[in-house]
Amino acid sequence: MAEDWDFYMCRVDGHLASMALDLGLAATAPDGARSLMGFVRVPLSVPRPDGLSDRTEFDRLEEVEEALVATVVPAVDATYVGRCTMEGRRDFYFYFASRNGFDAAVAAVFERFPAYRPEIVVGEEPGWETYLNWLFPGRDDLQSIMNRRVCDNLEKHGDTLTKPREIMHWAYFSSSEAADRFAVVITEKGFRIDEKIDPAAERHGFGVRFVRHDVPGRDGIDTLTSEILEAVDREGGDYDGWETFVERDDA
């Protein structure tokens, strides 16, 4: 499985948290060969008032992460799944089969970074709950990541994300009746039904492609897709994302 790293911000018990993880692992998690979860907790030297890392510490923390991955992964045949930064600390998460060599590998890394005093926690976790339930984003956060990727791609092609244009969306349902009910609801929200897709043509089920003129700006696209997700959820469907055409200011 190819690596698919990304990040998102969220709140945990009222505290701002920054999560970074390999999304690609979700397709095969949990890995039965690696039932131990170990994390290395590093107190931040210069935490921001909100508990996240300060820019002045960014490069150093990146060096720590790179050293941990380069040392720990081969030492215990570990899978590095991600990290969480919150409340003035950064936790690095690994899964592996045996603790033998894990502590020594971590200790060797921090000989190079004496300013940090790490804490090591290891426990049985065959279900990979930390990765699947803690690091992995919920529905809205995952969609926000996908939104950001589309916006990034548009910007790479010269789009300023400020011009309204047709944005196409897809949703899939388990029955034709559910797709029809959704089509009625989404039409009331100003969308045009562009196509209904029979499951013979698509593996996903009964599909609806719907279109509306909107601005794909970073400030508004998450709000838009959140509203769509609520309507899709009411019919037990799956939202399959959106796409649009590049619009340049000089066009």
Q: pLDDT band for position 170 (50/70/90)?
A: very high
Q: What is the DSSP letter of 61?
A: H
| In the chain, where the domains are located | 5-135, 139-244
- pLDDT tens for residues 44-79? 999 999 999 999 999 999 999 999 999 999 999 999
pLDDT at residue 1 in the model: 52
Q: What percent of the chain has pLDDT over 90?
A: 92
Give Cα separations from 179 to 160, 205, 213, 241 (angstroms).
Answer: 34, 9, 22, 16
Report if pTM > 0.95: no
In the Cβ-directed half-sphere of 175, how many Cα atoms lie within 13 Å? 5
> What CATH number belongs to 139-244?
3.30.70.970
Q: Which CATH architecture has domain 5-135?
A: 2-Layer Sandwich (3.30)
Is-same-fold flag (5-135; 139-244)?
yes
pLDDT in tens, 97-139: 999 999 999 999 999 999 999 999 999 999 999 999 999 999 9
- On the question of pLDDT at 250 being above 70, the answer is no
Q: What is the pLDDT of residue 2?
A: 67
Q: Torsion-angle region of residue 13: left (phi > 0), alpha (psi -120 to 50) or beta?
A: left
